[in-house]
Amino acid sequence: MIRLPSNVYAEIVGHCLRGLPDEACGLLGGDPVSGDVARCYPTRNLAASAKLYTVDPGDHLRADRDAESRGMEIIGVFHSHTHTDAYPSPTDVAQAPDPGWHYVLVSLRDTHPTLRSYRIYGDMVDEESVVVAPR
Amino acid sequence: MSVEVRLPTVLRAHAGGRSAVIAEGGTIGQVLADLVRNYPGMAGQVLTEDGTLHKFVNVYVDDDDVRYLDQLDTKVAPGQTVSILPAVAGG
């Protein structure tokens, strides 16, 4: 399970919408044990593509340090799919960096954004529940 | 010369759970080779078989990504910190 405060949920979806027509991405800071997210770190998409994303390494370093200074860790990544389902693509699965992370997908294909979250262990993808909590 | 190397969570299991370790070297290449020598479980995750930097990691000296410096030849000075983070990408 991943728990997103409502302001973080809004930041994720807002960053994804602002990134159109390209995919957008960012990192999530929180508690690795409970899956509680406390902070959203929007990052630049170095790939600048509607089909691929690459988290800017400098943005990642700054997010990692900020999370650590707040007693948190980076516990996941989010990115948008502009024309497909909110489900990890084969590229997402092949390049998933950490089996401990949460992988949040936002589909912008339909009228309303759809947000879902997954755990990825090797080539196995497990959807998890998303709880949007009051801030 | 010793420098602190900060590890991403995915590599900590190979270093007894530690988030940072000490490695020896005057360049990033030497530091990473020493890291892999001390923690063989990281072999193949930091450096490729050809000895180049693995595409799935980003390595920094203080605030700077070594891919924009001299890659493995990037010099490391005493007191500087080397950080390793996963390269985060997908489609």
pLDDT band at A9 (very low <50, low <70, confident <90, very high): very high
Using alpha carbons, select from B12, B18, B2 the residue that is nearest to residue B82: B2
Residues 6+ apart with CB under 8 A from B16: none
Report, as ranges of residue numbers, the positions in chain B whose pLDDT lies below 70.
none
State whether A91 and B10 contact (CB < 8 Å): no
User: What is the interface pTM, i.e. ipTM, of the complex?
Assistant: 0.93
State whether B10 and A97 contact (CB < 8 Å): yes
Buried b (16+ CB within 10 A) or exposed e, A14-33: ebbeebeebbbbbbbbbebe
pLDDT at A80 over 90: yes
State whether B91 and A53 contact (CB < 8 Å): yes
Tokens for A71?
């007693």
pTM here is 0.94
Strands of the sheet containing A102-107, edge to edge, are A37-43, A25-30, A73-81, A102-107, A114-121, A124-128
Nearest CB to A73 within list B9, B63, B67: B9
Shortest Cα distance, chain B CAs vs residue A135, angstroms? 27
Dist CA A62 CA B6 (whole Å): 14
pLDDT given at position A134: 87
| A125 CB within 8 Å of a chain B CB | no
Q: Show residues of chain A in contact with B10, CB under 8 Å.
A: 97-100
Residues of B at the A interface (Cβ-Cβ below 8 Å)? Answer: 8-10, 56, 58, 60, 63, 65, 67, 83, 85-91
Query: What percentage of residues in chain A have a pLDDT greater than 70?
Result: 100
Buried b (16+ CB within 10 A) or exposed e, A57-84: bbbbbebbeebeeeebbbbbbbbbbbee
State whether B56 and A95 contact (CB < 8 Å): yes
State whether B85 and A92 contact (CB < 8 Å): no
